């Protein structure tokens, strides 16, 4: 069995992509309040700063900064995924492997993480997360997607409200 190496640096900032097992599902937005509650509860026990987060129907992207001396993002994801799944009705069909592992069949087992290297890398990953609903055709403008930290960033003056206004601008490079 392969052993995946994860970059772990205490107090660092990371970009994550976490997917549902069923990529055609809308489970994350359908149960957005439960997801938010789960993240809040996890942060109260295992603090981290949310730099950016966007939730799409079947996956999410986020940028977190961990506390000084702490590199255990894996624990946080385990808690979030488990607590979210535990509170959903058991409607999914499980494979033998999932049953033997005590899994719910909601999440992909692994997730993608990237250790942020510098300010440019940070900005690119936050922009990528915020553009994602536009990329997937879920909205015509980034500001129209409700499940995104983009709105918080606009309020803080990080982005203008019309940033990355539409797909045409995004693909031609005319967007801010």
Give the three-class secondary structure for 63: strand
Residue pLDDT, tens place only, 18-49: 999 999 999 999 999 999 999 999 999 999 99
Q: Which pLDDT does position 21 carry in this prediction?
A: 92
- In this structure, the strands spanning 59-65 and 49-55 are antiparallel
Is residue 10 a contact partner of residue 70, using CB atoms and an 8 Å limit? yes
Tokens 């990528």 label which residue? 128
**Helix-helix angle 73-86:32-45, to 10 degrees:** 140
Structure tokens at 49: 């700063």
Is 147 among the residues known to form the active site?
yes
Cα-trace Rg, the chain: 17
Could you tell me how far CA 69 lies from the centroid of its own chain? Answer: 23
What number is the average pLDDT over the span 59-86? Answer: 97
Dihedral of CA atoms 139, 53, 15, 40 in degrees, nearest 10, equals -150
Q: Which pLDDT does position 166 carry in this prediction?
A: 53
The one catalytic residue among 122, 128, 147, 159: 147
Q: Which pLDDT does position 3 carry in this prediction?
A: 59
Could you tell me how far CA 109 lies from the centroid of its own chain? Answer: 15
Structure tokens at 161: 């409200």
Distance CA 50, CA 159 (A): 17
User: Which of 31, 48, 16 has its CA nearest to residue 106?
Assistant: 31
What percentage of the chain reaches a pLDDT higher than 90?
A: 77
Q: What is the pTM of this model?
A: 0.88
Task: Look at residue 171 and tell me whether its pLDDT is greater than 70.
Answer: no
Q: Which pLDDT does position 170 carry in this prediction?
A: 47
Q: Which pLDDT does position 103 carry in this prediction?
A: 77
Q: Which pLDDT does position 66 carry in this prediction?
A: 98
Residue pLDDT, tens place only, 102-151: 778 899 988 999 999 999 999 999 999 999 999 999 999 999 999 999 99
Q: Which pLDDT does position 174 carry in this prediction?
A: 47
Structure tokens at 127: 């922009």
Structure tokens at 19: 């997917």
User: Which of 3, 16, 7, 4 has its CA nearest to residue 71?
Assistant: 7
Q: Which pLDDT does position 2 carry in this prediction?
A: 53
């Amino acid at each position: 069995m392969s052993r995946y190496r994860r970059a772990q640096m205490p107090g660092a900032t990371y970009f994550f992509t976490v997917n549902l097992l069923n990529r055609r599902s809308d489970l994350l937005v359908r149960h957005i309040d439960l997801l938010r509650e789960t993240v809040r509860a996890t942060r109260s026990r295992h603090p981290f700063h949310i730099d950016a987060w966007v939730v799409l129907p079947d996956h999410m992207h986020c940028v977190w900064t961990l506390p000084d001396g702490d590199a255990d993002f894996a624990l946080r994801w385990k808690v979030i995924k488990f607590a979210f799944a535990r509170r959903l009705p058991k409607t999914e069909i499980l494979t033998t492997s999932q049953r033997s592992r005590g899994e719910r069949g909601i999440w992909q087992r692994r997730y993608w993480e990237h250790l942020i290297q510098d300010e440019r890398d940070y900005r690119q990953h936050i922009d990528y997360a915020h553009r994602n609903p536009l990329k997937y055709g879920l909205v015509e403008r980034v500001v129209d997607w409700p499940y995104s930290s983009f709105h918080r960033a606009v309020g803080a003056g990080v982005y203008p409200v019309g940033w990355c206004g539409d797909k045409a601008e995004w693909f031609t490079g005319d967007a801010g």
